[in-house]
């Protein structure tokens, strides 16, 4: 069975500082890992995914994520946060026979000016 944990309900960061949103996962077999972002009253937008290959995955809006197999983590990062990055971020293992996404509880990112 697949599961995912986002240990922080909220992350606060000052604009211009680097940000990290944490995610750990448990999957059987090869992991397919996704990050989505949800802005207030909007649908989910795809940021990036890891399938195989390079452990550092680059995505939309300057975000990247680092896959760490030994720590079963897939943390989302950005070198310099923007106020407009403030949103709810979801980590989700996916794939499997049905391509079902198992969403984490979400982490609210608040970037202060």
Partner 1 sequence: DTAVSQTPKYLVTQMGNDKSIKCEQNLGHDTMYWYKQDSKKFLKIMFSYNNKELIINETVPNRFSPKSPDKAHLNLHINSLELGDSAVYFCASSQGTSGRSDTQYFGPGTRLTVL
Q: Which residues bind partner 1 (CB under 8 A)?
A: 32, 34, 36, 38, 42-46, 49, 51, 88, 90, 94-103, 105-106
In the complex, the smallest distance separating the C-beta of residue 85 from partner 1, rounded to whole angstroms, is 17
DSSP secondary structure code for residue 103 in this structure = -
In the complex, the smallest distance separating the C-beta of residue 14 from partner 1, rounded to whole angstroms, is 24
Phi, psi of 2 (to 5 degrees): -95, 145
Count, residues in the chain: 113
The DSSP secondary structure of 15-48, one letter per residue, reads TTS-EEE--EEE-SSS-EEEEEEE-TTS-EEEEE
Q: For partner 1, which is the closer residue by CB, 41 or 70?
A: 41
Q: For partner 1, which is the closer residue by CB, 15 or 88?
A: 88
In the complex, the smallest distance separating the C-beta of residue 80 from partner 1, rounded to whole angstroms, is 26
Q: For partner 1, which is the closer residue by CB, 49 or 75?
A: 49
Number of other residues whose CB lies within 10 A of the CB of residue 91: 29
């Amino acid at each position: 069975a697949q599961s995912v944990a986002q240990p922080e309900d909220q992350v606060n960061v000052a604009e211009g500082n680097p940000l990290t949103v944490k995610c750990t996962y448990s999957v059987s077999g090869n992991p397919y890992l996704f990050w989505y972002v949800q802005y207030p009253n909007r649908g989910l937008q795809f940021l990036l995914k890891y399938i195989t290959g390079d452990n550092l995955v680059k995505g939309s809006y300057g975000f990247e994520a680092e896959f760490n197999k030994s720590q079963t983590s897939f943390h989302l990062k950005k070198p310099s946060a923007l106020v407009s990055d403030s949103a709810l971020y979801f980590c989700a293992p996916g794939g499997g026979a049905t391509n079902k996404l198992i969403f984490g509880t979400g982490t609210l990112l608040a970037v202060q000016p």
